Structure 1
Amino acid sequence: MTAVVTKFFAYGEEEMAYLSNADPILGAAMARMGKIERGVIPDPFAALVHAIVGQLISAKAVRTIWERMHIRLGEITPKNLAAKSADEIQSCGITMNKAICIASIARKISDGLFDLQQLRELTDDEVVRKLSSLDGIGKWTAEMMLIHALERRDVVSWGDMAIRRGMMKLYGLTELTKKQFDRYRASYAPYGSVASIYLWELSFE
């Protein structure tokens, strides 16, 4: 996922066997591909910044920008980024809107006005609602946080183009309706996040 991954999303034979039984088509793809390692960022602030950077751009572009941010800005912490101007953050290659968003959130957290650590105690829906109260954060960004920081088990994001593309490739579809998506997503429960890891991989094959 990034150059500074410290761990991978935790799953194993139990989740893979369950999904294979629940959806033999997905199971066949999983057997062919083997275990896919998906990097996570345990620190919720760094994960949130990473998700903001990743809004509507390619994974390759995210990697380049993320590495540049570490070189130019230093440690990705609320205190450090709160001390940076939006111009400094934007110079790493993101839009000014994203830079303003990151600077604002860093200040809010640094000033004690928003508690990211509290997210660990909330349900998935509560996490999405709380994060969506921040400027520049929508449902997709919150769902990426659920997977890549909190390692929640059952997240399949309709808002993620790569997941939808992977689903279409898996099932041989030329288009995908929300109703079809919801049916597949329901079949993956309670391990939708593991299915998402494979759908992401499939989308880039």
Structure 2
Amino acid sequence: MAEEHDHLRETDLAPLVDEYGELELTPADDLFERFVVSIVNQLISTEAARTIRARLFEQFEVTPDAMLTAEADALREVGLSPQKVEYVKNVAAWFEENDVTRERFTEMSDAAVTRELTDIRGVGDWTAKMVLMFGLGREDVFPVEDLAVRRGMEDLFGELTRAEMRTLAEAWSPYRSIATLYVWQHYVDGNSNVDDIVA
């Protein structure tokens, strides 16, 4: 068994590791695409996000250059709000202006990456953490900002404040991202109207 799963078996998530097996965190092949997906997913339902993502990727090449040159009206037609059109274009401009690749972040801490990403208008802590986890494959991220994470934790451990959730999750370090996958999976299984995680 992988080291991260050995570690989580020594915590209060052991029953979930037994139930779901070895969940893996696999970083996306394309960092910009993953960034755009996280922006699309901000504060909307799983179903709505899935529909918009499908339309966006069907009708556009999701690259920084293509997003910068795309007409705002055309992006709105696939379901993006005017605000999210702006955010996608802001991220695209940042990628283009800085010639961003995954290697840019190799020597940066999670906190440093978060600070840099949240300097982009439209990118908050939740979006930055989704990029850390699913774009860069960082293993020790705890996205307490995520509603499904909070609901899953409350179901598992009772009513908690965000601060209490952060404290509880410290036992899962240095694999809090992997632990989050288990909390998400538990939440999905307990909600018949949710069949995917908006991340």
Query: What's the TM-score, normalizing by structure 1?
Result: 0.85
Q: CA deviation at 1:39?
A: 5.5
Which residue matches 2:31?
A: 44
Which residue matches 2:195?
A: none
Q: CA deviation at 1:185?
A: 1.4
SS of residue matched to 1:89: helix
Query: In structure 2, what residue type is equivalent to 1:193?
Result: S
The verdict on how the C-alpha distance between 1:116 and 1:90 changes in structure 2, with shifts beyond 3 A counting, is farther
Query: In structure 2, what residue type is equivalent to 1:17?
Result: D
Which residue matches 2:3?
A: 14
Give per-residue Cα distances to partners, 1:22-57, cap 9 Å, x unaligned: x1x310122012233556423211111111001011
The verdict on how the C-alpha distance between 1:95 and 1:191 changes in structure 2, with shifts beyond 3 A counting, is same
Q: Which of 40, 44, 53 does residue 53 from structure 1 map onto?
A: 40
Q: CA deviation at 1:63?
A: 1.9
Mapping of residues 97-112 of structure 1, within 5 Å:
97-110=83-96, 112=97
The verdict on how the C-alpha distance between 1:193 and 1:31 changes in structure 2, with shifts beyond 3 A counting, is same
Indicate if the aligned counterparts of 2:110 and 2:132 stay in contact, CA closer than 8 A: yes
Q: Which of 134, 142, 152 does residue 128 from structure 2 map onto?
A: 142
Q: Give yes or no for the alignment of 1:178 onto 2:162.
A: yes
Indicate if the aligned counterparts of 1:42 and 1:150 stay in contact, CA closer than 8 A: no
The verdict on how the C-alpha distance between 1:29 and 1:105 changes in structure 2, with shifts beyond 3 A counting, is closer
SS of residue matched to 1:57: coil
The verdict on how the C-alpha distance between 1:95 and 1:178 changes in structure 2, with shifts beyond 3 A counting, is same
Distance 2:91 2:83 in 1: 12
User: Higher relative contact order by CA 8 Å / sep ≥ 6: 1 or 2?
Assistant: 2
Indicate if the aligned counterparts of 2:152 and 2:187 stay in contact, CA closer than 8 A: yes
Q: CA deviation at 1:113?
A: 4.2
Give unmatched runs, 5+ long, in structure 1: 1-11
Indicate if the aligned counterparts of 2:8 and 2:17 stay in contact, CA closer than 8 A: no
Q: CA deviation at 1:203?
A: 1.2
Distance 1:114 1:132 in 2: 18
Which residue matches 2:118?
A: 132
Choose 156-165 or 117-126, whichever is displaced more: 117-126
Indicate if the aligned counterparts of 2:142 and 2:166 stay in contact, CA closer than 8 A: no
Give unmatched runs, 5+ long, in structure 2: 190-199
Give per-residue Cα distances to partners, 1:56-76, cap 9 Å, x unaligned: 112332222111111111x21
The verdict on how the C-alpha distance between 1:93 and 1:83 changes in structure 2, with shifts beyond 3 A counting, is same
